Structure 1
Amino acid sequence: MLSIVVPCYNEEESLPFFVEEMEKIATKINHSIEYIFVNDGSKDQTLKVLRELHQAMPEKVRYLSFSKNFGKEAGLYAGLQAARGDLVTVMDADLQDPPELLPQMITMIEQKEIDCVGTRRTTREGEPPIRSFFAKMFYKLVNKFGDTEMVDGARDFRLMTRQMVDAILELTEYNRFSKGIFSWVGFETEYLEYENRERVAGETSWSFWSLFKYSIDGIVNFSDVPLTLASFVGAFSCLGSGFALIFIVLRTLIFDDPTDGWPSLVAIILFVSGLQLLCLGIIGKYIGKIFLETKKRPIYIVKETEETQQNKKVTYK
């Protein structure tokens, strides 16, 4: 069986197009297919569309609906937990992930005996230039600072064996960054390249600010280099201040030339204070991650599935 995990947030317009395209591809795949849609607290009619899809294809379509928006990472984790297939793929509902690549991906896994076939975009056409620039900078920074290599342009769209999916599910951390987790668990992976595609319908829920915060989480979750840099900044500032103090004292003793530059003194104080706040912010980010992990809160809460629709049973994971 092939399990197709699809996180959804306000995708009522895209879902019919997605299923239509996937059903065309299904005829070219020698596997039975199950769809696992995860409704991540959508504010539109996504849940209604999922109910209708399940009624139309009860043997194929399964869904989970969260009690609120827990984020795409929670949606991915929930979908992977629910997947029953020997092969599992993660896709977006907006058709930016080309479904026609799936037959080739399955062939690669079966013939080359690899564990995962990922996809990566070779172009970023259609994206704002500022977003493309920061995306490239993110991959450069995370690969330079972290021990886990992440492929520039890699998408969440990938086909994985059951063994790799089980390994991913072993990582139950609350602060999740799937691109890093996919890479961290290892397993032999090859990538297929394709050109960027526009959404088939609807609007993206990812703003520049949300992507920026997501990238910060990716760096913090897989690298402690920011903490090391904060330590170096503090040490450099301390040494610099010490040398400056010695210089001022010696100059006063030798040349009787006291320093009376009040504006420069204020500027130095503000500069050093800014460095301290920056370092405290970096440390605070890591402490915040620890704080959330120690709470042991569930990664997501399921309000409804195709099986519990009648009694509205609430489950926790």
Structure 2
Amino acid sequence: MKKISLVVPCYNEEESIPLFYRTVSKVIDSMNTPTPTVTPEYIFVDDGSDDRTLEEMKALHQQFSETVHYRSFSRNFGKESALAAGLQATTGDVVAVMDVDLQDPPELLPKMFTLIEQDGYDCVGTIQKERRGQSRIRAFLSSSFYRVINWLSDVRIEPNARDYRLMTRQFVNTVLSLPEFNRFSKGIFSWVGFKTTYLTYESQPRAAGKTHWNLRQLFSYSIEGIIDFSSAPLRLATWVGGISFVLSLIGMIFVFVRALTVGGAVAGWPSLVVILLLIGGIQLFCLGILGQYINKIYLETKHRPKFIIREEK
């Protein structure tokens, strides 16, 4: 019998945890009917919640101490850190990453498990067909992000791919072997390679609670993903600086030739100010891009832990 570990990051999800456990337990039971096939291991990760999320985890652990475990952070470190902490704690032969809000349908687990066991896949990911309940702006920005990062990066990330996936132990160990502090899991899952396939599904409403991601956080997360898996912004800064330099040379030659043939031009303060602002803006733009990469290097060189565990069982 194989052990399947379920990694479930949680942030202020006190209402969703009991619903998640009951729903997934039914799916696991169906996988063990009529022949026992898998034994579950639940790894809940409390990402510094300020509601009763941890208490709900403890209650489940007390009731099902053999199969339900939890890790609680000292503060909010973010979903990427919660994923890393959960993966580190797993002991299963196969490992699933799932959202606790049940927007990732647990009913796909049996098919995902079959694809790994019978078809030899190392990872079975999921793709959301539609984005119900999202604003048009948010859906447009999300789809635009995948187009941009796949254009800039050598690593292809499937559009609308979810974190929800089932992975073999070898796949998980390889992901955990990557030591970087700045983590973009979707990119890492694609970068490590292995034999991977995807299942598509219709978007599901949240079982309870509300989303904790706003547009600002999603935009910041997207920028991190692009920087972590592409050096194209640095090349863009180089090209912008080079083009600006060439244009300035052309302008200097034009002014010099005009002074020799026509005479000096009347000084124009507005045009001078515009040119200065343009050049200054280009410089700041390029410095900003360079600063983002330097900041990533700075964080890596500190060698700080990706998370701090306050309590675990």
- Asked whether the two chains share a fold, i.e. TM above 0.5, the reply is yes
Change over 3 Å in CA distance of 1:249–1:259 after alignment to 2: farther
Alignment-mate amino acid for residue 45 of structure 1: R
- Give 2:214's aligned amino acid: S
What is the CA-CA distance between 1:259 and the residue it aligns to? 3.8
Confirm or deny that 1:302 pairs with 2:302. no
Q: Aligned residue for 2:201?
A: 194
Alignment partner of 1:93 is 2:95 = no
- The verdict on how the C-alpha distance between 1:259 and 1:187 changes in structure 2, with shifts beyond 3 A counting, is farther
CA deviation map 1:79-104 (0-9, x unaligned): 00000000000000000100000001
* Deviation per residue, 1:32-65 (Å, 9 max, x gap): 0010000000011100111101011111100000
Task: Say whether 1:39 aligns with 2:46.
Answer: yes
Q: Provide the TM-score with structure 1 as the length reference.
A: 0.95
1:265 aligns with 2:267: no
Partner of 1:180: 187
How many angstroms does 1:250 deviate by?
1.1
1:210-229 equivalences under 5 Å are 210-229=217-236
Task: Tell me, yes or no, if structure 1 residue 81 matches structure 2 residue 88.
Answer: yes
Counterpart residue identity of residue 98, structure 2? M
Q: Which residue of 1 aligns with 2:282?
A: 275
| Deviation of the 1:258 alpha carbon | 1.2
Taking the aligned partners of 2:131 and 2:47, their CA distance within structure 1 comes to: 26
2:30 matched to which residue of 1? 28
**Which residue of 2 is the match for residue 56 of structure 1?**
63
Deviations 1:249-275 (A, max 9, x none): 211221114142210111111111111
User: Which deviates more from structure 2 when the two are superposed, residues 22-31 or residues 142-151?
Assistant: 22-31
1:115 aligns with: 122
Aligned to 1:315: none
CA contact (8 A) 1:118 1:158 kept: yes
Q: Distance in 1 between matches of 2:71 and 2:132?
A: 33
Q: Distance in 2 between matches of 1:95 and 1:259?
A: 69
- Deviation of 1:139 (Å): 0.6
Unaligned runs of 5+ in 2: 32-36
Pairing partner for 2:19 from 17, 20, 29: 17
Worse-matched range after superposition: 253-262 or 112-121? 253-262
Question: Paired residue for 1:68?
Answer: 75
What CA deviation, in whole Å up to 9, does each residue of 1:172-193 have, x standing for no partner? 1100000000000000101000
> Which aligned runs of 4 or more in structure 1 are off by greater than 3 angstroms?
none
Within 5 Å, give how 1:136-151 maps onto structure 2. 136-151=143-158
Pick from 1, 6, 13 the counterpart of residue 4 of structure 1.
6
Moved more, 255-264 or 292-301: 255-264
Percent identity of paired positions between Structure 1 and Structure 2: 54
* TM-score (normalised: structure 2): 0.97
Partners of 2:93 and 2:118 in 1: CA distance: 15
Cα distance in 1 between the residues matched to 2:202 and 2:152: 28
AA at the equivalent of 1:23: S
Question: Which residue does 1:314 correspond to in 2?
Answer: none
Does residue 168 of structure 2 align to residue 161 of structure 1? Answer: yes
| SS of match in other structure, 1:197 | coil
Q: Is the 8 A contact 1:248 1:259 kept in 2?
A: no
Structure 1 contact 116–160 (Cα < 8 Å) conserved = yes
Q: Distance in 1 between matches of 2:222 and 2:262?
A: 53
| 3-state secondary structure, aligned to 2:170 | helix
Q: Distance in 2 between matches of 1:200 and 1:259?
A: 70
- Give the Cα–Cα distance (whole angstroms) in 1 for the partners of residues 247 and 160 of structure 2: 41
SS at match of 1:239: helix
Post-superposition CA distance 1:89-128 (Å, at most 9, x none): 0000000100000001101111111101000011112111
The amino acid that maps onto 1:11 is E
Structure 1, unpaired ranges of 5+: 307-317
